[in-house]
């Protein structure tokens, strides 16, 4: 009878709302991933083309990283479900990210070893470090995201944790742009060496900021008790087939992947859009994203104060999706002469991003429910689909951009001859 009483008390504790400190300690745990990811999606293609790689070669580098990330999420999810220890996976992944990220934006190591600067060798060199970085990134992401379900069984607290995580994602993005603004302001980029030094300093400062928050996370967050209990009671590990047979799994997968496609692809090509298409000032490629992230941060804070149900998640996601459709149409038809309207669109995009991301990730928590011995696979498998789809989309779009630029240059040359 005493044992039954202890179980009842444990269940009651698990369903209690989390305190604000616990939420914040968890929320800062993805800061290193977020700030390096912001640099990855915002500046990688710009950096690689600035140092002389063609858009198609730059796309190959990004695709290699996305592929490594995608496959690692599956492996990490399976191993976490088998053995647990979220914090160990998180710490090991963070260490690999910190060590490898500076090399992604550093010089080409194989080029220095072989004494050649051929585009093929550069592409291989940057692709290898991109893959290593994304292996660590994936391990950190899966462990941190799946931890939500094992920290609490309270559905509202799970959404609050996700919302706080998203809020600090915005803080990480803003921190990156602040760092980039300072570096670009105080240093010149006359030669390729100058460009490499600029991005190397951005990488170093980003790693330092992220690592500080990783330390706060590990000091303030305990290994989730619910996962320990699940292993102690020898609950059977949930097979992949269990999830594949659930219609809800495929519905959540579609929502999550499409959401990630919208946010990641738009972030990657935003700088190209405001500079090349709208022909705005160079400062706009920092100002427009900053507006988006500030608005996303504000909305994420607001979402933490709402009581959540499955129906409410769908309603808020629908609102975010509708706002993005309106903004997408606005961007598509925006004339260059009215480019200042993009600042107003940025406000709406920021709100839409937050609404969609918080609710899409929270839908995964509702999918998992109390099936804690399969939660990491859910997050890992959906992240796999996200990374592969984003990588292929970015590769295709970058290849199209390369062909488009060649066509524009050809037309300019013909006009010059005429």
pLDDT of the chain along its 418 residues, tens only? Answer: 444 444 444 455 566 777 888 899 999 999 999 999 888 877 887 788 877 788 888 888 888 888 898 889 888 888 888 877 889 999 999 999 998 888 888 777 777 777 777 778 888 888 988 999 999 999 999 999 888 888 888 878 888 898 898 889 889 988 988 888 888 878 776 677 777 788 888 889 999 999 999 999 999 988 887 655 554 454 556 777 888 889 999 999 999 999 988 888 887 787 778 877 787 776 677 788 888 889 988 998 888 877 777 788 889 999 999 999 998 898 888 888 888 888 899 999 999 999 999 899 888 888 887 777 777 888 888 888 888 888 788 777 776 665 555 544 433 333 333 3
CA 154-352-70 angle, 5° bins:
70
| Amino acid 235: pLDDT | 54
CA 236 from centroid of its chain's CA atoms: 31
- Would you mind telling me the total number of residues written for the chain in this entry? 418
This prediction has a pTM of 0.77
8 A C-beta contact, residue 207 and residue 106:
no
Integer Cα distance of 88 and 144 in angstroms = 11
List, in order, residues 6 or more apart from 122 with CB less than 8 Å away: 51, 52, 53, 57, 108, 111
Neighbours of 337 (CB within 10 A): 7
Integer Cα distance of 251 and 9 in angstroms = 34
Q: What ranges in 152-273 are assigned the alpha helix state H?
A: 155-186, 192-220, 225-232, 240-244, 247-272
Query: What single-letter DSSP state applies at residue 85?
Result: -
């Amino acid at each position: 009878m005493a044992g039954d009483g202890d179980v009842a008390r444990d269940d009651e504790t698990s369903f209690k709302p989390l305190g604000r400190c616990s939420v914040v300690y968890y929320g800062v745990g993805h800061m290193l991933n977020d700030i390096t990811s912001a640099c990855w999606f915002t500046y990688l293609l710009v950096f690689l083309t600035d140092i002389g790689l063609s858009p198609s070669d730059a796309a190959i580098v990004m695709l290699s990283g996305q592929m490594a990330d995608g496959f690692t999420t599956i492996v990490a999810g399976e191993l976490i479900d088998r053995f647990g220890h979220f914090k160990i996976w998180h710490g090991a992944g963070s260490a690999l990210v910190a060590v490898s990220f500076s090399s992604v934006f550093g010089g080409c190591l194989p080029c220095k070893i072989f004494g050649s600067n051929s585009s093929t060798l550069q592409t291989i060199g940057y692709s290898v470090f991109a893959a290593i970085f994304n292996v660590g990134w994936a391990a950190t992401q899966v462990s941190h995201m799946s931890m939500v379900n094992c920290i609490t069984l309270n559905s509202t607290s799970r959404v609050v944790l996700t919302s706080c995580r998203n809020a600090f994602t915005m803080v990480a993005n803003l921190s990156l742009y602040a760092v980039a603004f300072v570096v670009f302001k105080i240093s010149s980029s006359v030669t390729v060496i100058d460009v490499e030094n600029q991005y190397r300093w951005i990488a170093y400062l980003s790693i330092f900021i992220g690592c500080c928050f990783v330390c706060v996370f590990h000091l303030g967050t305990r290994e989730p008790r619910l996962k320990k209990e699940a292993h102690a009671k020898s609950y059977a590990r949930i097979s992949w087939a269990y999830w594949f047979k659930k219609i809800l799994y495929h519905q959540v997968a579609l929502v999550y992947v499409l959401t990630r496609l919208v946010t990641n692809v738009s972030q990657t090509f935003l700088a190209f859009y405001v500079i090349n298409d709208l022909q705005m000032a160079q400062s706009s490629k920092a100002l427009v994203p900053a507006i988006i992230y500030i608005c996303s941060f504000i909305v994420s804070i607001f979402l933490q104060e709402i009581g959540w149900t499955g129906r409410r998640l769908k309603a808020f996601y629908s609102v975010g999706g509708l706002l993005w459709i309106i903004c997408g149409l606005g961007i598509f038809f925006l004339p260059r002469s009215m480019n200042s309207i993009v600042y107003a669109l940025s406000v709406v995009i920021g709100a839409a991003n937050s609404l969609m991301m918080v609710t899409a990730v929270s839908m995964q928590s509702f999918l998992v429910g109390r099936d804690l011995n399969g939660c990491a696979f859910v997050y890992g498998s959906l992240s796999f689909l996200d990374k592969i789809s984003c990588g292929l989309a970015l590769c295709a779009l970058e290849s199209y951009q390369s062909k488009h630029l060649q066509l524009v240059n050809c037309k300019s040359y013909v006009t010059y001859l005429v």
